[in-house]
Each structure stands twice: as C-alpha cells, then as structure tokens.
Amino acid sequence: MSNINAFAGYENTSSLFDDIDYSAPYNKVLDNFFASISKSDEGKQTEGAEGAEGANEEEKTEETKEEEKTEETKEEEKTEETKEESETEYTEEEQIAIYNAVEDILDASVRMSGTDEKSLVDVLSDENLSPKLMKAVQEELTNQGYDIFDIIRSETSGSTEDVLEGYALAKLGGKTKETKTELESYEKYENMNKDSVEYQKYIRNCMSLFRQAVNGPGTDEKVLTYIMSLPEDIRSDVEAKYNEKYSDERDFMQRGKDETGGLIHTEFYN
C-alpha cells in the first residue's frame, strides 16, 4: 500500500520511469527515479503558477472593465447634471420677470384686503411669461408658502376664477378643479415638429377638449381658456383641425363666441 500511495497524484506514472537508466547501479537508479519525480513536481507547480497568473490577469481585466464602466457612468451622470443645470438657468432679465410676477401675484391677492383680479389676469395672461418662467414663479410661491392654484381658488370666483385657472393650466399643466380634466402644459409642443405623431396627437386632443367644453348645458370656461390661451400657431392648428372635422357646424371662433360671456368673452372674442 505504501508503494502505491507514493505515486498518488500522478495520473501517468509510467512517464516517471522513461528517463531512468536501469543499467546503472541500484543507487543511481533510485537517484534518477527521485530526480524524475522532482521534475514532474516542478512542472506541475509551474503549470499551477501559470494558471494562477492567468486567473489573476483575468480578474484584473474584469476589475479594469468595471472601473472603466464606473467612470463612464460618472461622466454620464455629470453630463445629465450639467444639462439640468443649464435648463434651469435664467438670464437677469428672466430673473427680474420671475420676481416681478411673484410680487404682483402676492400684491394682488394675499397681501391686500380684497383681490385685484385685473392684475392677476394681466400676470397670468402675459405671453412673455413662458411656461418655463411660470414654473419658476410657482416654485418661488411654494418657497414662500403659497400655490398659484390655491390663490386663484381662494381669492377669486365665477368666471374670473375659471379664466385664471385656465391660463395657469396652459403653462403649468394639471387637473381642473371640478371635472378633474387632465390638461398638459403646452411647453414641449412650442418647438416640436408639427408633422410628428406626438404633436398631431396633442392637436387632436385639444380639438376634442374644445368641443367638449362648448357642448352640453354649460360651457367649461377653464378648458376653453386653456385652449384659447395656447400660443397662436398651436391654437391655429387646433382651429384648422376642428373646422376640417366639423365643417357642417359653426366654425371654431363662432362656436366659442356664441357659448361664452363675461370675462372669457372679453378676453378672447371681442
């Protein structure tokens, strides 16, 4: 058993004897035999070392790839952060416009006894106060503990409330108070390709909203204001789509004129 165990771990023991000179004296034969074993062990150790080095190299390669991937991810994140920062930067002129709008809104509502409805209409209907700037106005109001929709709904009523809310929804987006109609800010459609599917869907949706607003027993002045306060080129596309589809009915402008009165009529149909 001891002789068999001596060769444990050697798959091809016959190779150990290939280089032994059996014509040599007995002690030389033993020396040659043990020298052959030693060579075999050295070969295995070399193979093991080479295998370990190969594995280490593979691990290093994987680590390098992971490091490069991490660096790429960091660069992408930095690019996104820079993009977001650039999108929210304002010129001095814009900063002044935002400040003035916030102050005018607060002066016309919560800071006075009574409400200066005309001033609120002037601020929210201002075409120079773009959706981007209006969002900044809303953020500043929030920082001071207010919300433009809460101000409108608590400080005004009737047709004035409807018109003001419609103006705000066109720039900020959101849901109407009573019907919970979801309205989207027109911001991203201003410079969109008019032949794109997304733009055409928006125009089609606005056309449907307009028809719903003027049909039925009453007129949804919030939604109607939303449609009528869209930028002129977008509103013209809605009007053209409506007149094309409902050519047998009163046209877009006449339909709105016949269905409204009060402030909304003054704002859009005089």
* 3-state SS class at 147: coil
Residue 245 CB contacts under 8 Å (≥ 6 apart), including other chains: 207
Residue 70 belongs to what H/E stretch? helix 26-87
**pLDDT at residue 15 is higher than 80:** no
- The residue assigned the tokens 């953020």 is 139
Whether 137 contacts 102, CB under 8 Å: yes
State the pTM of this model.
Answer: 0.68
pLDDT in tens, 48-79: 555 556 556 666 566 666 666 676 666 666 65
Give, as one character, the DSSP assignment of residue 111. Answer: T
Q: Where are the domains of the chain?
A: 19-75, 92-268
Average pLDDT over residues 208-218: 90
Task: Report whether 243 contacts 211 (CB < 8 A).
Answer: no
What is the maximal distance between C-alpha atoms in the chain? 127
- State how far the alpha carbon of 95 is from the alpha carbons of 7, 90, 137, 227, in Å: 88, 6, 10, 28
Q: Which residue has the tokens 């930067």?
A: 89
Tokens found for residue 66 = 């992971």
Considering 64-68, 178-182, 219-223, the range whose residues carry the highest mean pLDDT is 219-223
Decide if pLDDT at 177 tops 60: yes
Q: Quote the CA–CA distance of 108 and 120 in Å, as a whole number.
A: 6
pLDDT digits (tens, 9 = 90+) for 69-111: 676 666 666 656 555 554 568 999 999 999 999 999 999 999 9
Select the CATH number that applies to the domain covering 92-268 from these four: 1.20.58.340, 1.10.220.10, 1.10.10.1400, 3.40.50.300. 1.10.220.10
- Taking residues 127-148, report their average pLDDT: 97
Predicted local confidence at residue 106, as pLDDT:
98
Average pLDDT over residues 25-37: 57
CA distance 141 to 151: 10
**For 228-265, how does the pLDDT look when each residue is reduced to its tens digit (9 = 90+)?**
999 999 999 999 999 999 988 899 999 999 999 999 99
pLDDT for the residue 55: 57
Q: What is the pLDDT of residue 135?
A: 97
Q: Rounded to an integer, what distance in angstroms lies between the CA atom of residue 176 and that of residue 199?
A: 22
